[in-house]
A = this chain, B = another copy of it.
């Protein structure tokens, strides 16, 4: 099974990049399943019905989220129904709408897609991602060894720790949230593919995609400033492709995808 994963789509720049490149990437890599992180899809803050549907139309099979899940209030209109929308598993169990994972039929087998959030420097007090995900993984493995985790977290230590913790138990742990792709893709010894952060999909000339002027003003003046998506910018698209042996769920290979003005896409 081949999985294509694309990092945090941000605003119209990100959506346009998805519309343009996702079909091309699918033709080239022929993934059986495509997962897209959408926590910044609607104007940089959360997601709404229209953009969620647009991502599905563009080719996403599952949309994962993160700490910005609730930033756009319109999410409450769709989260109860949206079967392909997955928010972090370790949000408070009793009060959080939506689901923390979904199981897809891919080829003749099943793939579970989990969204999980880190705790270090994330500004929310969530259930421990390690001890929360372990029983779910145990349960899912009764059904399928093919498990993909979008681990939305800040620090490289928490990301590496989770990947080693689950090595051999899941097919992939791929990080999101920093909006910058790391180059540490590897398959760990027991068969779990890992990449600290897949990077984001949005304005190449913003600061994490936000307007440079406003972000710099905050660092310089320490005053509250309003950030917006840096719309007047070419796009970056960040992703990765993972090949999984469906019989045992072990990853065989993970490769990064990075398209931006310095690394343009070529149809070979």
| Chain A residues at the B interface, C-beta cutoff of 8 Å | 70-71, 91-96, 119-121, 124-128, 130-131, 154-158, 160-162, 164-165, 178-184, 186, 189, 196-197, 199, 205, 207-208, 212, 215-216, 219-224, 256, 258, 260, 262
Contacts and interface: CB of A to CB of B under 8 A. Distances in A.
B127 A127 contact: yes
Given A92-B220, A92-B222, 13 more contacts: A94-B131, A95-B221, A121-B154, A125-B219, A126-B222, A155-B178, A157-B207, A158-B219, A160-B180, A161-B207, A164-B207, A181-B183, A182-B182
A222 B91 contact: yes
A181 B184 contact: yes
B92 A221 contact: yes
A183 B258 contact: yes
A124 B222 contact: yes
A76 B36 CA distance: 42
Chain multiplicity (copies): 4
A236 to B, nearest CB: 8
Contacts of A258: 183
Contacts of A223: 70
A156 B128 contact: no
Nearest to A184: B180
A196 to B, nearest CB: 5
A143 B120 CA distance: 38
Contacts of A70: 223-224
A216 B184 contact: no
B125 A212 contact: no
8 nearest A-B residue pairs (beta carbon): A183-B183, A119-B125, A156-B180, A95-B221, A156-B178, A160-B207, A181-B183, A124-B222
Nearest to A187: B262
Contacts of A205: 189
Contacts of A130: 216, 219-220
A172 to B, nearest CB: 16
